[in-house]
Amino acid sequence: MVTGSRIISFSVNSRHCSLPVTSREMLLDVLRNRLELTGAKRGCSSGSCGACTIVVNGSAVRSCRYPAFKADGCEIITVEGLAEIDTLHPLQAAFLSSGAVQCGYCTPGMLMSAYALLLRNARPDRTDVRRALKGNLCRCTGYLPIENAVLAAAESLRNQTAPRDTGWGVGQSPWRIDGIEKVTGRALFSADYNFPDMVHAAPVWTPVPSGRIVNIEPNDALAIPGVIRVLTWKDIPGLNAVGRWKADRPVLAEHAIRFWGDCVALVIAQSPETARAAAGKVIVKTVPVPGIYSMEDALEPGASPIWETGNTASAMVVKKEGKPDAENQTAIVEDRFETGFIEHALLETEAAVAHIDSDGVLTVIGPSQNVFFDRLELMRILGIPPRQSHRIRVIQAHTGGAFGKREDMIAQPLAALACWITRRPAKVVLNREESFRSTTKRHPVRIIHRSAVDSTGRVRSLEIDLKADTGAYASWAPNILRKSLVHSTGPYDIPSVRLAGQSVYTNSAFSGAMRGFGATQSLLAAEYHMNHIAGMLKMDPLEFRIKNALVNHSQTATGQELTGTDALPPVLHAAARRFRWPGPARGRQVKGNISIGYGIAGAFYGIGYGNGIPDKGQAEIRIDPDGNAHLATGAVDYGQGSSTVLLQIALETLGTPRSSAYLETGDTKRTPDSGSTVASRQTFVTGNAVLKACTRLKQILLPVAADLLKADPQTIEIHSGKWKSRGHGEISWNDLISEAFRRNLNLVQKARYFNPTEPLDPSTGQGDVYRTYAFAAACSEVSVNLKNGKIRVIRMTCAHDSGRIIHPELAKSQVTGGAVMAAGLVLSEEYRVKEGIPQTLDFNTYQLMRFGDVPDIDVVFVETPDPLGPMGAKGLGEPATLAAAPAILNAVTDAAGIQFNRIPVTPEILLSKLPAR
């Protein structure tokens, strides 16, 4: 027994436990580390995210802040205790039926908060749900699906029924493929993995945001019992760099310190506590170097270069000359718009485990957006030569949110190094502060618009100057800049454009991919500008947008002609109609201190990598003799739902019953490379690969079915698991497969789908840069309190043309999640950095939208089947934020009667800009 500890007894999920605990131990540590109950998650360790919520004696508590000794004699229920052996609790079932689960990291805490609510209130209303769950953060769903699930569960508990799974056809909303794991707490996220004899590693961070390392002194750390090694850059066997486009970010900094998130050393110890304590004892001596903390300073002539190549990471232009129409030009409108750093705020912090298999293969388990990219980079770091990629295996763990951040690895190289060097399994888990300081952010931008508008309200030409702060390292700087610039006109048909973009290095932070990949900021700025023009022309913002909208056969800024789509007008009209857009008659309505305003905005988004970058999806399907269909693809699902959608496409094509189908994803050893889960591309690209593989298999099975049915193959239809021909009856999947095996047919099919695009001309920025575009429009009603500055989004309508919708509930959950993320972007979120030192390192200072802040969101899908998409589908993940953000900003502008050319518009900023009353 450890000194200072006492034995406590309690019951967890009806099982009795008795164990010694120290006074410092929190209940979450006991559950996760000692009882192997890893369902409750760690999100912040400060009680502000709710992911660790459990129920103690009937009340929801934050177990990360609940001292374990207080649980003595208590009855504890965790997410693992909700379901009875095979029967889900109605709450769990309702979460799955309502699209309330995406990444699943907040799910255990949400379920337990809701469970405690239902214990004391069998008839909660919306307000009760919001109050009970206000301490639980969710970054994916936008809360509304969760609210609906809790209300549905309450009803089914009263009626003694439970929501059930539906069919798996395209257009239905079955329970997501990883849903049951996620609602029962069985789903393993990276930090939930444990291996025998595992070591734990903790990073040592730079003490300055800009400087040079003079000396790293590990002796004090090494003197602590349980410390195994302290690694520095000298211990890295291969290339000391991470970065897919440019390998520039050191795993462990060598000499130069370029930002506050640089990792200097790695302490490996027997326990996580020892590793952390020892990391604090490593002395890092540095000489400060004056840092550059703004784009202006970085571009100042004679500014000291952050990289040898200078302070410009990337630059590009897009130029399209339309017909001059000088006589009709009337107004020139100019605007300037700015944004700050935005944090993804993934509920799961960065974590990874690595171990060496019996055959000597290093296996790294971590969050991921592309296990194959991760493998390439890890090989390079460990010095594994090319063409020996079998020596390392990367497996995607369940991933607690991604939104672009998981494209730049943080924990995986550290865990891989610790394992490679000690030859023991190794684990690295960053805490929330480390996550904030070290990971990528959304690029801050400064955009200047200059439009020429004719007397009819048509924008004739647009000049844009866009500068983006990529921070200390490049990440995907040129690609993000390109997506930003290509979309910077907004979804409008503008005959002449001159767009110039530049991505700039600073020492402020580290920018990378985040939902929208640069287009979020440029579309927001464009819609701010368009609203400004409409206002100046005294035109209804809707009418103005329709007048300028991209339509079928319009040309985008890059000269790409749109085909096979009605583009923007259908979604704008759909949003306006459902929202009951007040139209030209509307005016600012002030009652007392409250002013109500309305905003509208449109967006478009290129699906896939674009720009001629090889964009491939691969899928393999194999039917086993018992009729089981095994589908494999490298496409990772981090909660947005691609796995479920891909399986739906397969089942719809083949008529395989769900119970006979299995999908494997995200494992470099067992699944074929399907590219990154980015750019809203997986439904479109890998969906097409799955469709192709399954269609080939179907062609093999059709003659068999025709013989069995004694029917013409042309007449055979597949419907709810049966192959049918009118007048010839039907056969089951099992009979069909038995016969196919009797005939020794090849029931293994692989397919690749290639999504061709054109690189933009480097001098003009012209070209067919994306294969297809999704369209979105949103309307928003906002109230502004003119006295205290509080802004509330009251209701929104979001209309999306993402082609045919495969899974409506998951799609809706994407849209509500995107809209709420957009509200945070516009109203509250900013990762503030002062002279290179971040000021927002927790969820109290970095303010996310919470349950109570969420508006009513009406989601409309305008399902124009895409001629190239699988079953007509396009992408949706990123478009979900794009139109929502400017719709909210424009509504705030409308309600306040003043323009805000910088986000976020916080109550303080609003008040400071309001004219004195």
Partner 1 sequence: MKSVRFRVNGHPVTVDVPPAMSLQTVLRDVLNLTGTKDGCRGGECGACTVLVDGEPVNSCLIPVCQIQDREVITIEAFERPGEPHPLIRAFAEQNAVQCGFCTPGMILSAAGLLAENPRPDRETIRTVLAGNICRCTGYENIFRATDIRY
* Residues 249-308, interacting with partner 1 (CB under 8 A): none
Nearer to partner 1 among residue 54 and residue 198 (C-beta): 198
Torsion of CA 256, 257, 262, 264, to 10 degrees: 60
Q: Which is nearer to partner 1, 196 or 225 (CB)?
A: 196
Least distance from C-beta 193 to partner 1, angstroms?
16
Q: What span, in angstroms and rounded, lies between the C-alpha atoms of 725 and 713?
A: 9
Q: How far is the CB of 383 from partner 1 (least distance, A)?
A: 13
- By beta-carbon proximity to partner 1, the closer residue of 149 and 426 is 426
We find the least distance from the C-beta atom of residue 426 to partner 1, in angstroms, to be: 16
Residue 332 pairs in a beta bridge with 452
Based on the shown chain and the rule CB under 8 A, indicate whether residue 196 belongs to the binding site for partner 1: yes
Examine residue 592 and tell whether it contacts partner 1 (CB under 8 A): no
Smaller CB separation from partner 1, 282 or 392: 392
Closer residue to partner 1, CB minimum distance, 265 or 416: 416
Q: Residue ranges of the alpha helices (H) in 423-507?
A: 432-438, 477-486
Smaller CB separation from partner 1, 422 or 797: 422
Of 197 and 308, which has the nearer Cβ to partner 1?
197
What is the closest distance, in whole angstroms, from the C-beta atom of residue 421 to partner 1 in the complex?
11
Cα 571 to Cα 568, 776, 797, 859, 863: the distances in Å are 6, 6, 11, 11, 10
Amino acid at 835: E
> CB neighbours (10 Å) of residue 609?
23
Beta carbon of residue 201, minimum distance to partner 1 (angstroms, whole number): 20
What would the two tokens of residue 167 be? Answer: 């069919």
Query: What is the pattern of x (binds partner 1, CB under 8 A) and - over residues 404-423?
Result: -------------------x
Q: Which is nearer to partner 1, 425 or 789 (CB)?
A: 425
Q: Is 225 exposed, middle or buried (0-12, 13-18, 19+ CB in 10 A)?
A: exposed
Q: How far is the CB of 672 from partner 1 (least distance, A)?
A: 30
Q: How far is the CB of 142 from partner 1 (least distance, A)?
A: 45
Q: Give CA angle at 514 (509, 515), nearest 5°.
A: 160
Figure out which of the listed residues 197, 308, 327, 359 binds partner 1, where binding follows CB under 8 A.
Answer: 197
Residues whose CB falls within 8 Å of the CB of residue 359, separated by 6 or more in sequence, listed in order: none
Least Å from the CB of residue 197 to partner 1: 6
Cβ 423 to partner 1 shortest distance, Å: 8
Nearest to 212 by CA among 259, 262, 257: 257
For residue 127, what is the enclosing H or E element?
A: helix 126-132
Residues in contact with partner 1, counted by CB under 8 A, come to a total of 3
- Shortest Å, Cβ 417 to partner 1: 15
CA-based radius of gyration for the chain: 28
Residues 225-244 as x/- pattern, contact with partner 1 by CB under 8 A: --------------------
Give residue for tokens 């929190």: 26
- Residue pair 684/875 in contact (Cβ under 8 Å)? The answer is yes
x-or-dash pattern for partner 1, window 514-543, by CB under 8 A? ------------------------------
Q: Directed axis angle between helix 733-742 and helix 682-709, to 10°?
A: 80
Nearest residue (CB) to partner 1, 197 versus 327: 197
| Residue 360 CB burial class (10 angstroms; 0-12, 13-18, ≥19) | exposed
Residues 152-191, mask of contacts with partner 1 (x by CB under 8 A): ----------------------------------------
Q: Does 86 bind partner 1 (CB under 8 A)?
A: no
Q: Rank residues 5 and 899 by Cβ distance to partner 1 and give the closer one.
A: 5
Nearer to partner 1, 195 or 307 (CB): 195
Name residue 469's beta-bridge partners.
Answer: 504
CA angle 815, 817, 818 (to 5 degrees): 65
CB count, 10 Å around CB of 477? 28
The least CB distance from residue 836 to partner 1, in Å, is 41
Instruction: Pick the closer one to partner 1 by CB: 425 or 855.
Output: 425
Q: How far is the CB of 237 from partner 1 (least distance, A)?
A: 11
Given the complex with partner 1, which of 264 and 417 has the nearer CB atom? 417
> Of 433, 429, 438, 434, whose CA–CA distance to 198 is shortest?
429
Q: Minimum distance between the CB of residue 196 and partner 1, rounded to whole angstroms?
A: 4
Which phi and psi (to 5°) does residue 724 adopt?
-130, 155
What is the DSSP pairing of strand 392-396 with strand 362-366? parallel
Q: Please give the angle made by the CA atoms of 640, 641 and 645, to the nearest 5 degrees.
A: 145
Q: In what order do the strands lie in the sheet with 351-356?
A: 227-231, 263-269, 199-205, 426-429, 351-356, 362-366, 392-396
Angle at 639 between CA 634 and CA 641, to 5 degrees: 70
Q: Which of residues 422-441 bind partner 1 (CB under 8 A)?
A: 423
Residues near partner 1 (CB under 8 A) are: 196-197, 423
